[in-house]
Amino acid sequence: MRHLMNPLDFSVEELDKLMLLADDIKSDPKKYSHYCDGKILATCFYEPSTRTRLSFESAMLQLGGQVLGFASADSSSAAKGESVSDTIRIISCYADICAIRHPKEGAALVAASKSLIPVINAGDGGHQHPTQTLTDLMTIHALKGSFDNITIGLCGDLKFGRTVHSLVDALVRYKNVKFVFISPDELKIPSYIKDDVLKRSGSEYEEVSRLEDVMPKLDILYMTRVQRERFFNEEDYVRLKDYYILNKEKMALAKEDMMILHPLPRVNEISVEVDNDKRAKYFEQVQYGVYIRMALILTLLELC
């Protein structure tokens, strides 16, 4: 039985296969509409979510399966003090596969260690978010054709942004990917990622605080929201929340074919005027998230 905790749980070859399957689903979703007949997906979300939970549910429903679950810790027995380990044992009796989101780093791993069914990490605190990375990879692959020789700027909350951590883990495995980390001092990429991931893989990277200075060299700009829920005090959040606002003026400095991605939700960091720019791909990215989750469910249930 296989779980997904981290994008590195799949080799590059396995990721290629997954993306091929997702592409095939995209070209003919009807073909797959009964692959999960009789199967149940549980979504156990202890933290807020719109896209991740609903895209998982949409993915399972489009495969012919059914869904159950909870959307907040308050509406589950966590409110009574039940542990994640106990909850997953229970869920294992009700469902065939489970996507779990939890505010604590490592919670999905704890669940996987006790589970009788495949567990997917749908976000564990400020740590990892592998299915967002699968979505990001599929979007880049579909719109750029390859991962090699790209310069990607990651901007915003690089300290707490779990989608950034997972994406960096995944991208260092491709050829000549250059990283530009754009953040205020307080929200820099964690040193464990620099030491264990970037330096170990020999990846080229730089850290800057001004977006304008690096904009012209980027092939992809990955914007992120300042993660309010991970801050220890509101004052720091208020001071940092509008540090970056991508607007038309800044977009004028970018390459003609630069691609803007964002895991969403967007707060203020991308001005709505940018939505009409042909380089804004964050809403397309959402659609890829459904196909890749369909492919992931089929793969973990060993149905494809």
Residue nearest to ligand NCD (CB): 263
Is 30 buried (19+), middle (13-18) or exposed (0-12) by CB count in 10 A? exposed
The rounded Cα 128 to chain-centroid distance in angstroms is: 8
159 binds ligand NCD (CB under 6 A): no
Window 86-115: contact mask with ligand NCD (x via CB under 6 A): ------------------------------
Are 205 and 179 within 8 A, CB to CB? yes
225 binds ligand NCD (CB under 6 A): yes
Q: Figure out which of the listed residues 3, 129, 159, 293 binds ligand NCD, where binding follows CB under 6 A.
A: 129
* Per-residue H/E/C for 137-198: HHHHHHHHCCCCCCEEEEECCCCCCHHHHHHHHHHCCCCCCEEEEECCHHHCCCHHHHHHHH
Least distance between ligand NCD and beta carbon 63 (Å): 20
Judged by beta carbon, residue 5 or residue 32, the one nearer ligand NCD is: 5
65 binds ligand NCD (CB under 6 A): no
Q: Figure out which of the listed residues 69, 118, 123, 130 binds ligand NCD, where binding follows CB under 6 A.
A: 123
| Alpha carbons 180 and 194: distance in angstroms, whole number | 12
| Alpha carbons 218 and 118: distance in angstroms, whole number | 37
Phi, psi of 112 (to 5 degrees): -60, -35
Judged by beta carbon, residue 109 or residue 253, the one nearer ligand NCD is: 109
Q: Which two tokens stand for residue 243?
A: 């540090």
173 labelled catalytic: no
> What angle (nearest 5°) sits at the alpha carbon of residue 274, between those of residues 217 and 190?
55
SS3 of the chain: helix, strand, coil, percent, to 5: 50, 15, 35
Judged by beta carbon, residue 35 or residue 134, the one nearer ligand NCD is: 134
Least distance between ligand NCD and beta carbon 176 (Å): 27
Count of chain residues binding ligand NCD (CB under 6 A):
11
Least distance between ligand NCD and beta carbon 139 (Å): 12
The single residue of 3, 39, 43, 52 carrying the catalytic annotation is 52
52 labelled catalytic: yes
- DSSP tag of 263: -
293 binds ligand NCD (CB under 6 A): no
52 binds ligand NCD (CB under 6 A): yes
210 labelled catalytic: no
Phi, psi of 207 (to 5 degrees): -120, 125
Judged by beta carbon, residue 35 or residue 226, the one nearer ligand NCD is: 226
Please identify, among the stretches 88-96, 165-173, 258-266, 276-284, the one whose residues bind ligand NCD according to the rule CB under 6 A. 258-266
User: What is the number of H-type helices and E-type strands within the chain?
Assistant: 12, 9
The single residue of 3, 39, 43, 51 carrying the catalytic annotation is 51
| Residues carrying an active site annotation | 51-52, 80, 101, 129
Name the site residues for ligand NCD (rule: CB under 6 A). Answer: 51-52, 123, 129, 132, 162-163, 225, 263-265
